[in-house]
Structure 1
Amino acid sequence: MDWMRAIDGYCERVGPEYWSEPVNAITNAAFVIAAIVMWLRVQRSEARAELGLARLLCGVLALIGLGSYLFHTHATLWSAVADTTPIALYVLLYIYVANRAYWGMPWYWAIGATTLFFPFAYMTLPLFERLPVLGVSAGYLPVPTLIALYAVALRQRLPEVARGLAICVGILMVSLTMRSVDIPICGVLPLGTHFLWHILNAIMLGGMIEVYRRHVQAQQG
């Protein structure tokens, strides 16, 4: 496997140079800012002793920014792995958090339920690949689908959590749209729209941590 193989998949990139995607690279700071903001909110929470997993999510959120920065500067296969690995870790960690905090599962059941995301993604991916426009982001679409299912399922049990998750789904769908139309509208907007995927995703991922923080805070109250 050629780990140094160049990858050019974004409108803004016009060459192999390190700063060929300056806006896509710099906007990854949004993830780090969101991580810092949420870290401070968690630390100031009265329930901070119960929010160890929230702090872990904040750390992974910062790593998402770093990994994406590496990808949009180096644009190689190894940096693509650095980009996607923290995202996958965040998704799996939050599913575990949701199973523990929102459904009250013991840790072993929560881990088992988290692993079900893999067959869920595998089964739904072919359907998402057929979608117009959003099909290019099919690999990400199982995530908002699962969050939406959790929101619906929790609407009676935890209405505030369900509302927060639903809002995050809305933000994520707009974010995925910006990711998906980056190449199609490149001729009209040479900068592309991928940078909006970074900004909106940072807001959404930080928001998911906030939903969890508020839930734990309410439980403690």
Structure 2
Amino acid sequence: MNWLAPVDAYCERTGPDYWSEPVNAVTNLAFLIAALVLWRRLRGPEMAMGRALAAVLFVIGIGSWLFHTHANRLTGLMDVLPILGFILLYIFAATRDYFGARPWVAALVTAGFIPYAAASVPLFSMIRGFGSSASYAPVALLILIYAALLRRTGILIVSLSFRTLDQPLCGVPPFGTHFL
């Protein structure tokens, strides 16, 4: 396999030259800026996972820049491997922090993403129009599953917030906030 063989995967690409995907390349600055902003805001030992996610986000920006300026199989790996790393870190953190799972349970759920993706990507590939984005569809589905599972928790948090604000805001809205 020739790792340096040119890859033409996006409409914008006009050829194998360095600046053949200028918009895709430049938009990767957003990843770098977001990562730097987050890194500066995440202070203290309790923010270690957030800093790890910010660091991987920065690497995603670099890897994607490399792919969109030097589109070949090697830079393609430099593009997708950091994204996979981010996904796995996020699944671990979300499972541990949102569901209160023990770290070993969060690690098992995270490890389960690989067979889940391996089984579902071919299914998404059969759906017309997904194209190369079929490999990201399992992530979107997983986000929807997590959102559905956390829905009650989110509603409970909002409900408790309005209940808590009822007395401090008494009289500001005529009926208080408890009913909300």
TM-score (normalised: structure 2): 0.81
Give CA-to-partner distance per residue, 1:35-93, whole Å, 9 cap, x none. 122223323xxxx4311100000000010000000001111111001000100000000
- What are the ranges of 5 or more consecutive residues in structure 1 without an aligned counterpart? 162-221
Tell me whether 1:17 sits opposite 2:13 in the alignment.
no
Superposition deviation, residue 158 in structure 1: 3.8
Say whether residues 1:3 and 2:3 are aligned partners.
yes
Partner of 2:145: 149
RMSD of the alignment, in Å? 1.9
- Percent same amino acid among aligned pairs? 46
Structure 2: which 5+ residue stretches go unaligned? Answer: 158-180
Q: Deviations over 1:162-210 (max 9, x none)?
A: xxxxxxxxxxxxxxxxxxxxxxxxxxxxxxxxxxxxxxxxxxxxxxxxx
Alignment of 1:50-61 (within 5 A): 50-61=46-57
**Contact 1:100/1:107 (<8 A) preserved:** yes
- Of stretches 61-70 and 152-161 in structure 1, the one that deviates more from structure 2 is 152-161
Give 1:95-174 correspondences, 5 Å limit: 95-159=91-155
Provide the rounded CA distance (Å) in 2 between the counterparts of 1:125 and 1:10.
19
- Corresponding position of 1:85: 81
Bigger relative CO (Cα 8 Å, ≥ 6 apart): 1
1:22 maps to amino acid: P
CA shift, 1:159, in A, is: 4.0
Structure 1 residue 119: Cα displacement: 1.8
Structure 2 CA distance for aligned equivalents of residues 136 and 17 of structure 1: 22
1:68 aligns with 2:58: no
Cα deviation for residue 135 of structure 1 reads 4.1
Return the offset for 1:123. Answer: 2.3
Q: Distance in 2 between matches of 1:102 and 1:142?
A: 20
SS in 2 for 1:155: helix
Whole-Å separation in 2 of the counterparts to 1:144 and 1:12: 24
Alignment equivalent of 2:90, drawn from 84, 89, 94:
94
Measured against aligned partners, the alpha-carbon deviations of 1:71-120 in whole angstroms (never above 9, x if no partner) come to 01111111001000100000000000011101112211111111111121
Alignment of 1:34 onto 2:34: yes
Q: In 2, distance between residues paired with 1:160 and 1:120?
A: 30
Distance 2:119 2:31 in 1: 30
Whole-Å separation in 1 of the counterparts to 2:17 and 2:62: 18
Relative to the length of structure 1, the TM-score reads 0.67
Q: State how 1:184-195 maps to structure 2 within 5 Å.
A: none
Q: Higher Cα Rg: structure 1 or 2?
A: 2
In the alignment, the residues of structure 1 paired with residue 22 and residue 135 of structure 2 have an alpha-carbon distance, to the nearest angstrom, of 25
Contact 1:102 1:158 in 2 (8 A): no
AA paired with 1:153? Answer: L
What is the distance in 2 between the residues matched to 1:160 and 1:54? 25
